[in-house]
Amino acid sequence: MKKRVLAGFFLSLSLVLSACSGGGTAPAEQGKSAEGQAKTELIVAAEQEPVGYDPHKVPAASSVRVYALIYDSLTKLDENMNIIPNLAEKWEIAPDGKTVTMFLQKGVKFHNGKDMTAEDVKFSFERIMNPDTGSIAKSYFSSVEAIEVKDPTTVVFKLKNADASFVANTASAYASIVPTGSTDLTKEAIGTGPFKMEKSESGQYVLLKKNADYFNKELPKVESIKFQIMKDEAERLAAIRSGKVDISMVSADSAKLLEGKPGVQIKNYQSLEYSYLGINVNKKPFDNPKVREAISYAVDRNQIIQTVWKGEATLTGPIAPALTNSALDPATYPTYKTDVEKAKQMLAEAGYPNGFETQIETAATYPDMVETAQVIQQQLKAIGINAKINQLEWGNYIETWKSKDMNLMVGRNTSGVDADRSMRFFFSTTGSANVWNYSNPAYDELVQKALTTVDQGERKKLYDEAQTMLVADAPNLFLASPKNYYAVRDNIDFTPSAAGEVYSLIKTSIK
Amino acid sequence: MSTFRKRFLANKTAVFCSILLALLCLTAVLAPVLAPHDPTQMFQDHRMEGSSGEFLLGTDQFGRDLLSRIIYGARVSLVVGLSAVLVSVVFGTLFGLIAGYFGRWIDGFIMRCMDVLFAFPEILLALAIVAVLGPGTFNTIMAIGIVNIPIFTRTVRGAVLSIKNLEYVESARAIGASTPRILFQEILPNVTAPLLVQSSLAISGAILTESALSFLGLGIQPPDPSWGGMISEARRYMELAPGMIIWPCVAMTVTILACNMFGDAVRDILDPRHRGK
């Protein structure tokens, strides 16, 4: 209660403040982009305000898209989900899989002029693995036993066991390399990345300036990037049409509207995201697997795809279909077949012949989540489950997610670039993002075994088994993996891909 | 009272608006009979359609019948509007009577508290209250009710101040009437006129605030139809299905206008300075 009172107070305070500061910048900005002067600033519409820039602490997508431009990780992924060098120019894995040696790029400097060395890498990983940091990526590196600095450009990771996803995990923005001695990264953001933090105005914009000393001399191609905060889709649409912003994520509906409009191009890609219905397996009546199975039979995923995503999404399991070599075909999951009668019967077997009352929590800021919640609510009604929808303000939503005390919750996850993240990170008993109180020793064992299996064919088999088990246990219903749409102005060379916005933004140029 | 009725019937605006409002109330009460469909039922194959025989005003993005949603939305708007105003009237009258009658430090204390509430913009205070209580119909009513308490407190206090020293109150006191009797039987009936005017104006304000909260997703929770919530949802489909946003807006405009004009008309009738026009 106290928290809520406090939240209420800050909400009103922030409203007062934003009312005071709003609208001051618009005229100046228009003046700047006047013709005659070559445009060098890329303006990106941001649908959500960043909530801090500490890469080891803040997992919110609104923050990642900014700090991943400021910091670099050891490796990164390309459009096809292959691991490619970044700060580490190459790496070696010992035959037993227990030692990984990373060779760093030479001459990389932080934004404050200091050299980036093996010490910084060691410091960064130790900071991530320190429980006090509370890093979301801690579980990515749970297999790391020791980190040794061999020389200023060589780091050796000693692993407790072979970890097939270790190198892929170093590509995560959550595993960014920060300067040695960093304590409070909320106040300053000093990385090695292609852009430097220039200015951040709460509720208005975040301005990043090009890092002239970036180790890849050819990049980035623009002088600065400005994230203009526009929470409202209609506002973003108007802005991209008028050319006030250059790049904006848009919904499938808006993409249809913008198609063929002069000056704007629509680009899409199959995202790594999926929407889900989270179920708290500790709460009655959801602690009964039969109830969860009944819910799975009651939910018609195709209706969600048609209604919420207008057909522009695909069925998904716990691993998004964009990860083609790990994802299991959803057709193999028996509970994906909608069968209201069977669902009713299961509910009766579980001791709820007349259904029950419950709540679905969702975020008011994301219309797709609110719509998904409404479709699910309607479908659950058919088997007697009366769910009340609670749309929460974003901060409140995150708090509820963390609380592990929700009933049902609609949300969206990024499946990650490796099966290990999709599986262990979200659903193992100790997984950092397992807020559903799901704990199945057999599942834990499977994903742990998959992690230490270096043979890819064997590994795939284990993950197939784990996916089937997870869908049957249903701590989450995996619903749909949408295509993501970007509206891009004609004069901007921007190609989005599943590798992420940052990967594309760095290469973006203005024609 | 008969003079009031005569004047009321002579005032065309008042009559017209009260007929409109009566129709609206009737719609709200008879919603289950009038609405052609269940307002939350989704017709999968009829998403975002225009007007047709089956769906008179078309459907929304889930394939729900817009006409039924607007009819049920009237219910939500009126229930929230009336209950919220009832909350403010009850507490506002109580505080106003106490502050006005007893005066001195009680008056000072109550009115300073009201000043604090008054200092916040209406919607901001309602938002903060909802953030604390959590979203939902009951909490929305409470939030809007609390926000409007100061206006009623002031209105009643002002009326009490001008009445409490009149002879009939003096004489009631002289024959030994108890304080509650004086407050509720002697003074209260004489503050009903300003209270009535204030209430009818406050109802439209309350309906608007409810819509604003629902628009932000913090008021009435889906799938319950609320005009504000419908407008908020429709905004994304404005160009694909304009009917989705137009009809709830029309319903809302008519209701607010009727409430406001009714309030104005009642004030004209009751206010001696406006008489004879």
Tell me, yes or no, whether A351 and A465 share the same domain: yes
Residue-wise pLDDT tens digits, A267-315: 988 888 899 999 999 988 999 999 999 999 999 999 999 888 888 899 9
Residues B55-84 have a mean pLDDT of 89
Same domain? For A321 and A466 the reply is yes
Q: Is the pLDDT of residue B149 over 90?
A: yes
Inter-residue long-range contacts of A490-495, CB under 8 Å, 24+ positions, other chains counted: A490/A263, A490/A264, A490/A265, A491/A39, A491/A246, A492/A42, A492/A246, A492/A247, A494/A246, A494/A247, A494/A267, A495/A267
Q: Please indicate, yes or no, whether residues A385 and A501 belong to a single structural domain of this protein.
A: no
User: What is the DSSP secondary structure assignment for residue B65, as one 8-state letter?
Assistant: B
> Residue A61: inside a domain, yes or no?
no
Contacts of A393 in chain B (CB under 8 A): 131, 217-218
Amino acid identity at B101? Y
pLDDT in tens, A144-179: 888 888 888 898 988 888 887 888 888 888 888 988
Nearest chain B residue to A391 by CA distance is B217
Token code pair at residue B29: 């009460």
Same domain, A419 and A278: yes
Using the Cβ of A15 and the Cβ atoms of chain B, whether some distance falls under 8 Å is answered with yes
- Tokens linked to A47: 């649908």
The confidence score (pLDDT) of residue A322 equals 85
Which comes out higher in pLDDT, residue B249 or B271?
Answer: B249
One domain for residues A506 and A433: no
| Strand-strand pairing, A195-201 and A154-159 | unpaired
Ramachandran assignment for A416, one of left (phi > 0), alpha (psi -120 to 50 degrees), beta (any other): left
> Of the candidates A214, A215, A128, which has an alpha carbon nearest to the alpha carbon of residue A175?
A128
Q: Which of A391, A11, A43 is nearest to A205 (CA)?
A: A43
Lookup: tokens for B5:
């009725």
In a domain, A454, yes or no: yes
**Residue B224 Cα, gap to closest chain A Cα (Å):** 10
Say if the Cβ atoms of A307 and B240 lie within 8 Å. Answer: no
pLDDT at A1 over 60: no
Q: Are B93 and B76 in contact (CB under 8 A)?
A: no
What domains can be seen in chain B, in order of their start residue? 2-37+57-274 (1.10.3720.10)
In-domain check, residue A253: yes
Which pairing describes strands A273-279 and A509-510: parallel, antiparallel, or unpaired? unpaired
Residues with Cβ within 8 Å of residue A249, at least 6 apart in sequence: A45, A47, A236, A484, A485, A486, A487
Pairing outcome for strands A357-363 and A408-414: parallel
| Contact (CB, 8 A) for B130 and B143 | yes
Q: Is residue A259 part of a domain?
A: yes
Residue B18 sits at the vertex; the CA angle it makes with B13 and B20, to the nearest 5 degrees, is 95
Contacting residues for B33 by C-beta, under 8 A, at least 6 apart: none
Domain span at A252: 7-47+194-263+490-510
Shortest CA distance from A302: residue in chain B: B44
How far, in whole angstroms, is CA B196 from its chain's centroid?
Answer: 12
Please list every residue in chain A whose beta carbon sits closer than 8 Å to the beta carbon of residue B222.
Answer: 370, 373-374, 377, 389, 391
My answer on whether A316 and A374 are in the same domain is yes
CA distance A395 to chain B (A): 11
From the list B195, B230, B204, B241, the residue with the least C-alpha distance to B69 is B230
The whole-angstrom distance between B191's CA and the closest CA on chain A is: 35
Gap between the terminal Cα atoms of chain B: 19
Determine whether the interchain pair B136/A390 forms a contact, defined as Cβ–Cβ distance below 8 Å: yes
> Using CB atoms, which residue from A234, A375, A393 is nearest to B62?
A375
CA dist A116 and B42 (Å) reads 58
Evaluate if residue A29 carries a pLDDT over 50: no
The total number of structural domains that make up chain A:
3
* 8-state DSSP, B48: T
The pLDDT value given to residue A406: 92
pLDDT of residue A411: 93
Do B131 and A4 make contact, defined as CB atoms within 8 angstroms? yes
Tokens of A273: 């995201």
Burial class (CB within 10 angstroms; exposed 0-12, middle 13-18, buried 19+) of B138: exposed
A391 touches chain B (CB under 8 A): yes
Is A238's Cβ below 8 Å from some Cβ in B?
A: no
Nearest-angstrom CA–CA distance, B28 and A174 = 53
Q: Indicate if A472 and A494 belong to the same structural domain.
A: no
Token digits of residue A313: 């999404």
**pLDDT tops 80 at residue A41:** yes
The pLDDT tens digits for B24-39 are 999 989 988 888 888 8
Name the minimum distance, in Å, from the CA of B142 to any CA of chain A.
Answer: 15
CB A423 within 8 A of CB A463: yes
pLDDT on residue A290: 92
Q: Do A306 and B240 touch (CB under 8 A)?
A: no
Determine contact: A373 vs chain B, CB below 8 A.
Answer: yes
Question: Would the CB atoms of B217 and A364 count as touching at under 8 Å?
Answer: yes
User: Would you state the pLDDT for residue B10?
Assistant: 83
CB A225 within 8 A of CB A195: yes
Whether A139 is in a domain gets the answer yes
pLDDT at B112: 94
What is the three-state SS of A444-466? HHHHHHHHHCCCHHHHHHHHHHH
ipTM: 0.70
CB-count burial class (<10 Å; 0-12, 13-18, 19+) for A163: buried
Q: What is the DSSP string of A320-339?
A: -TTSTTTPPPGGG-GGGS--
**Which of A307, A365, A368 to probe the B interface (max B CBs under 10 A)?**
A307
Rounded to 5 degrees, φ, ψ at B118 are -65, -30
Residues A91 and A167 in one domain: yes
Domain final residue pick, A175, A207, A228: A175
Give dist(CA A42, CA B66) in Å, integer.
Answer: 42
Cα gap A327→A334, rounded to integer Å: 16
For residue A1, being part of any structural domain is answered with no
pLDDT digits (tens, 9 = 90+) for A354-374: 989 999 999 888 888 999 999
The reply to whether A364 touches chain B by the CB within 8 Å rule is: yes
**Residue range B265-270: mean pLDDT, rounded:** 83
Do residues B8 and B15 make contact, with C-beta atoms less than 8 angstroms apart? yes
* A4 band by pLDDT with thresholds 50, 70 and 90: low
Tokens for B23, please give them. 């129709």
First to last CA, chain A: 54
- The one-letter code for the residue type at A51 is V
A5-14, A340-349, B255-264: the lowest-pLDDT one: A5-14
Q: Which distant-in-sequence residues (6+ apart) come within 8 Å of B61 by Cβ?
A: A307, A371, B47, B48, B233, B237, B241, B244
pLDDT at A468: 93
- The reply to whether A53 falls in a domain is no
Q: pLDDT at position A297, please?
A: 94
**Helix boundaries (H) for chain B:** 2-10, 12-29, 31-34, 66-102, 104-119, 122-133, 137-163, 167-174, 179-181, 192-215, 227-234, 243-270
- Give the CATH number, domain containing residue A232: 3.40.190.10
Q: Let me know: does A269 contact A496? Beta carbons within 8 Å.
A: yes
Contacts of B47 in chain A (CB under 8 A): 306-307
Share of chain A above pLDDT 90, in %: 26
Strand A476-489 vs strand A313-315: parallel, antiparallel, or unpaired? Answer: antiparallel
How big is the A-B interface in CB pairs under 8 Å? 90
Contact A20/B at CB under 8 A: no
Nearest CA in chain A to B238: A234
Rounded to a whole number of angstroms, the CA Rg of chain A reads 23
Query: In this predicted structure, which of A65-69, A472-476, B211-215, B272-276 has the lowest mean pLDDT?
Result: B272-276
Q: Assess whether A206 and A85 both reside in one domain.
A: no
pLDDT interval class at A505 (50, 70, 90): confident
CATH number of the CATH domain containing A93: 3.90.76.10
Whether residue B57 contacts residue B241, with contact meaning beta carbons closer than 8 Å, is answered with: no
pTM of the model: 0.71
Tell which of A20, A390, A399 to mutate to test the B interface (max B CBs under 10 Å).
A390
pLDDT at A413: 87
Residues A112, A231, single domain; the answer is no
The reply to whether A162 and A234 lie within a common domain is: no
Which letter does DSSP use for residue B190 in this model?
G
Over the range A293-322, which residues count as b (16 or more CB within 10 Å of their CB) and which as e?
A: bbbbbbbbbebbbbbbbbebbbbbbbbbbb
Q: How far is CA B32 from CA B19, B27, B29, B72, in A?
A: 21, 9, 8, 8
Do A216 and A165 share a structural domain? no
Domain boundary among A175, A208, A235: A175
> Could you tell me the CA-to-CA distances from A118 to A4, A125, A429, B127 in Å, in that order?
44, 11, 33, 50
Tokens of B36: 């052609």
Q: What is the CATH number of the domain that holds A423?
A: 3.10.105.10
- Cβ atoms of A245 and A252 closer than 8 Å: no
Position A188 in a domain: no
* Cα B167 from Cα A350, distance rounded (Å): 74
pLDDT digits (tens, 9 = 90+) for A14-23: 544 444 443 3
Q: pLDDT value at position B143? A: 92
